[in-house]
Structure 1
Amino acid sequence: MTMTDASFFSADKGRASAWGAVLSMSLSVTMLIAAEFMPVSLLTPMAQGLGATEGATGQAISVSGLFALASSLLITTVAGGFNRKWVMIGLTALMLLSLVMVAMAPNFAVLMVARALLGICIGGFWALAAAVMMRLVPEPDLPRALSIMYGGQAMAAAFAAPLGSYLGEVLGWREVFWALTPVVAVNLIWHLIALPSLPARGRQNLGALIALLRRPYFRRALIAAMLTWGAAFTMFTYLRPFLEQVTKVGPETLSALLLALGMAGFIGTWTAGRFVSGQVAPLMKLPALVMGAATLGLIALGSAPLAVAGLLAIWGAMNTALSVIFMTWMSQNVDDAPEAAGSLLVAAIQASILLGAVIGGLLLDRFSITATFAGSVVLAALAAALIGNGQRLLKPNH
């Protein structure tokens, strides 16, 4: 074997190792989303098993979002100079601990602590994920790598709730969480094997976040992200009452529509991974435009189940492409501070998810489900107007 041949095989092995690490990150995403949203389909039996009200149990489930918000802002400071490989491993271990605590929870207080730990894991993982991906693969391959990672999100969104509901009926809610633990344990081992050493690139602190917020183009993108995700979750959080009250579907049709929406997410990640390339700033208004138009279509055609199914598929595909587009923009325009940018972007998204749910709930209680969806359309329109042609979201001299 010549030296050239050896270099070729070494490079090929390196590429295979990098994609193995990407796949391990994708499995982490799948399990994080499953762990975060699986309890939604198990709310009633969990409340009964813990001797708590459904309302209180629902608050325990949502507490993970609050801790995710705090964790996303603090992770780069707390992680400091630690090797990012071991930070990701530590976060995965924390997810495993949280699942075990939920499965064994003797009371409501333990459930609260377990969900808080999961929130720390969620915020920390998402804040660092894009920066880690930027170090695993070359820049031209980044959209594809991100689409693979977010494919895990689409998989969990499609299957976690219906699978959790079914297994909860057959086995019991605690057994559902026990069933997740061996998969997370395998993921932990996979991280140990597949992730390369990723030394910290200088210590991060809150000053780095403040410095980044002083950049006008980044502030504009951050507000655009909040409006876009806020629009998405104002609609998505209250999708079930819309389908029940307006489309008037039964339980089986409801499950089929939600599954179709989740499956469409695979199309969105696949498409984004293959067609998102070059400077993506002009594409950043596309999710707001398409998802806003789909939501407007639901308002107009909500009583027609076939039209609703088609519109939900369009919405679901663009919803997963949304993350790939914004994270690719970040890698291109904040490449000098990816961890700080990731922290702020994830915090903004978490805040907008909570805010979107609050706004949607107020509109629903005071007016109607149609008003909630109209609020989503307004937020999407504001996002698209703010983004414009994307030029004001570009890094100067980029």
Structure 2
Amino acid sequence: MPIALLALAIGAFGIGTTEFVIMGVLPEVAGDLGVSIPTAGHLISGYALGVVIGAPLLTAAAVRLSRKTMLLGMMAVFTVGNLLSALASGYGFLLVARVLTALPHGAFFGVGAVVAAGMVEPGRRARAISMMFLGLTLANVIGVPLSTLLGQQLGWRAAFWVVTAIGVAAMAAIVALVPNQPRQHQVGLRGELSAFRRPQVWLALGIAMLGFGGVFAAYSYIAPMMTQVAGFDAGSVTLLLALFGLGATVGNVLGGRFADRALMPSLYVSLGGLAVVLALFVFTAHDKLLAPITIFLIGAVAFVAAPTVQMRIMDKAVEAPTLAAAANHSAFNIANAGGAFLGGVVIDAGFGYTSPNWVGAALAVIGLALALFSGLLDRREKQLRRNALSVTPNPATPYPATTTP
């Protein structure tokens, strides 16, 4: 794999760390800025909103730039946002800084996926994308726990200084390692928007939103599920979340390999497996041995789909993939918010802390149904093309000569 993928992975590592580290230092932020923990929680939803808005808008605004310049610009905004977060004098300032930091999130991953796929031969594109996503999954295993620990020991601002430094390192790596891709392969904004006229692009975004909505319906409530149901102490939750991240890392690497060999079957297996594992989690969440194993498996089967869905969207928007690839990360964050909301609804309705797992399984099944329908459309399109070719006269075959009476 090209060394340039390391630069993209460093950027992804920084983005993944800054997105989730706020959850670990939320009590410190609330206490220092004089707000309640629920109010401080808006820093999480504000970030998600920034990703949803920023992914299409920033990509559209910068689409005429070279892709290397786009990557540098997105990482510069990200770094400035984290710097402002570290210097924030009050809650309102920090909220604005968090939204600013989130704006380039989806655009970076969208452009990065196109750049990564463009650096390798066609049969290795999904693996290249998974190498970039490796930074995101490793952030949950290494970046978030270490930054959280640092923030708890030295103050929450220390966590944001660390992520600011990662952003600077990512910019330096992009300058040094990422090649300039020819501009002739890029299209304007109108061309990028034309990809959204294709039903298959919307189907792929729907698959991402529903599949990962199922993940976040369960993941958002792992802490109370493990402490109130499984009987773990609060200090064990960080290790359990890191176990999810480890599973996601393994699944992501496998997903890139599987997608290069058989993209749609990989997607079917991932979504089907996710539905099964989430349904099992309703029962295994009561056991201290089976619960951690299930958490690892949820991360693994879910993130097999991460490079697979990204590759699917880029394939279906082949002439103009950048904006569609960025929109995938808007869908991912809608899944984050929507899954957490639906999981909270069933808990509030009195169905217990394991009930979000049923919600997650149901969302995964609907995502699988969309994937099967999308695959059916593929087969129908191929059959129509074969039929059209079979009735088209072969110009190499001469017509019978006509004779005059």
Is residue 341 of structure 2 the alignment partner of residue 358 of structure 1? Answer: yes
Match for 1:309: what amino acid?
P
1:347 aligns with 2:334: no
User: In 2, distance between residues paired with 1:333 and 1:164?
Assistant: 38
The percentage of counterpart residues that share the same residue type is 24
- Counterpart position of 1:392: 376
From 336, 345, 356, the counterpart of 1:372: 356
**Which residue identity is paired with 1:379?**
L
The answer on whether the counterparts of 1:143 and 1:328 sit within 8 Å (CA) in structure 2 is yes
Matched, 1:51 2:51: no
What TM-score do the two structures reach when normalised by structure 2? 0.87
1 CA distance for matches of 2:135 and 2:377?
A: 28
* CA deviation string 1:69-97 (max 9, x = no partner): 11112233211311111111011111111
Structure 1 or 2, whichever has the larger Rg, is 2
Q: Which amino acid aligns with 1:32?
A: I
Whether contact under 8 Å (1:284, 1:325) holds in the other structure is: yes
| Greater Cα shift, 150-159 or 164-173 | 164-173
Moved over 4 A (4+): none
Distance 2:236 2:60 in 1: 47
Aligned partners of 1:267 and 1:317 also within 8 Å: yes
1:190 counterpart residue number: 173
2:287 maps to a residue whose letter is A
Identify unmatched segments of 5+ residues in structure 2: 386-405
Match in the other structure for 2:162: 179
Contact in 2 for aligned 1:67/1:123 (Cα 8 Å):
no
The equivalent position to 2:5 in structure 1, one of 18, 22, 39, is 22
The alpha-carbon deviation at position 242 of structure 1 amounts to: 1.1
Task: Give the match for residue 392 of structure 2.
Answer: none
1:1-398 mapped onto 2 (5 Å cutoff): 19-200=2-183, 201-205=186-190, 208-209=192-193, 211-367=194-350, 368-388=352-372, 391-392=375-376, 394=378, 396-397=381-382
Relative distance call for 1:138 and 1:66 in structure 2 (3 A) is same
Do the aligned partners of 2:214 and 2:361 also contact (CA within 8 Å) in 1?
yes
SS in 1 for 2:3: helix
Question: 2:119 and 2:377 mapped to 1: Cα distance?
Answer: 25
Deviation at 1:199, TM superposition (A): 5.0
**Per the alignment, in what secondary structure is the counterpart of residue 394 of structure 1?**
helix
AA partner of residue 392 (structure 1):
L
Deviation at 1:162, TM superposition (A): 2.4
**Matched-pair contact (CA < 8 Å) for 1:130–1:342:** yes
TM-score when scaled to structure 1?
0.89
For each residue in 1:306-342, what CA deviation from the matched residue of structure 2 results, as whole angstroms up to 9, or x when unmatched? 1112211111112222211112223333322211321
Provide closer, same or farther for how the CA distance between residues 76 and 266 of structure 1 changes in structure 2, counting only shifts above 3 A.
closer
Shift in Å, 1:47: 1.4
Contact conserved, 1:284 with 1:390, CA < 8 A, in 2?
no
Range 294-303 or range 382-391, more displaced: 382-391
8 Å Cα contact 1:81/1:199 also seen in 2 = no
* CA deviations over 1:101-138 (Å, ceiling 9, x no partner): 11111111210121111111212212322222222222
* Total equivalences in the alignment: 379
Please identify, of 373-382 and 332-341, the stretch whose mean Cα deviation from structure 2 is larger. Answer: 332-341
Match of 1:11 in 2: none
SS in 2 for 1:254: helix
